[in-house]
Structure 1
Amino acid sequence: MSYCLYCHQSYTERWSWTDLFGLSIRTLLCLDCEDILELVKGDICSICGRSFSLFPEQYRQGDCCNDCIRWEENEDWTGILQQNRSLYVYNDFLKEVIAKFKYRGNAELIKAFYPVLKKQYKKISQQAFIIPIPLSEERNYERGFNQAELLARGISNHIALLLERKTHEEKQSKKTRDERLEQKENPFIVIEPNKVQGQKVLLVDDVYTTGSTLRYAAKVLLEAGAKQVSSITLAR
């Protein structure tokens, strides 16, 4: 008997032939809660990992979505983020799950996604430096933990805290899309740049929205000498 980390109801795990051969990886949630989650799957943008099934055909060109094409057409951002892969679509249920651990202090809930995070990591790279997106000192004190760091620890115990935010700023969730994209100064600095030189880096965060946070982090890491930067997020 197991207990759901979200609704706390007891449940009996569902088994299938794919489970027996280790082909199926499940969250630590009950079946009712897990069934509401929407895995990102099928045809996706080759850069940001967005599911093409969720928006009209005119918003893509080839294997890229229009958002990523706009990033790549800007000479300041071309090739900055190698790729992002997200586990789930940011639907209403996942939005509530993230709010529960991010704003209401239920850090234990993050562990529900550890099995799926590890599986996705194996698909991307097992040779990369894992670096979580940092919070500002004020935000970290307010929250008591950094959700990106806890997600990263679900992938591996060997993570590198080599990014730092320069100053406290308004929450990204409170900004409009244009405000996120118009940010001029890079909010991140690299601690001990010599450690990232020539390294492949995997950034970890909770939500990919416009991609600006991950790209700013990737840019400062590349400027410090990183070879390549990709990312993984819980939601897209």
Structure 2
Amino acid sequence: MATGAARRTGDPVIELTGARKTYRSGDIEFEALRGIDFGIQAGEYAAIMGPSGSGKSTLMNALGCLDTLTSGSYRLDGVDVEELRDDELAVIRNQKIGFVFQQFHLLPELTAWQNVALPLMYGRVPLAERRERAAVALTKVGLGDRLDNRPGELSGGQQQRVAVARALVTEPTMLLADEPTGNLDTTSTEEVLALFDELHAAGRTIVLITHEQEVGARAERIVWVRDGVIDRDEATRR
């Protein structure tokens, strides 16, 4: 299940320095991130964990270029994203980040390959190439025989694998997965986590946000967030 993403150990994909995020509502101010420093190297499989309200969702939004920092810096694959305009951030999200969410976000009227090809359509890739690349991505996640099935004809685990294929189809710098097993049963959870294991073994950089310890333990490294700071950063048994 190779993805074509060679592991280049030592090359930084994520570099956060003094990352702070403050929310304001009238006179009320809340600091969700309070000066976070950490990095993730190419080919790493890291889980970001923490209790509700810890700041991990805010951190995920920053890493995914879905929100900007109040202060500090964030470099993604060598690009200082804090210096980019909104349209440039949209390009970064499309080309460098493959998103997988708890909700599958598949369009029910589209087939599996059409759902997977959506990021390529936004990138103005020709139709024939979109279909070919979508088919390759679906084959990589074990769904090469389900190209023309619609989401309603697939199990929950299969739908999440379609979502993973969609995240991979642009050959992004990293896969960013936010609670990807939250809506899955035990069997489907194991299928998706086994897929992540294979993608990691093939050299894919994966950042997983989860509150489930058994899910986070599948990563090679866990970054624990609490009260807006890094509580600890540790290797797992893998």
Report which structure shows greater RCO (CA 8 Å, sep ≥6).
2
Q: Which has more helix, going by share of residues?
A: 1
* TM-score normalised according to structure 2 size: 0.28
Q: TM-score, normalising length from structure 1?
A: 0.28
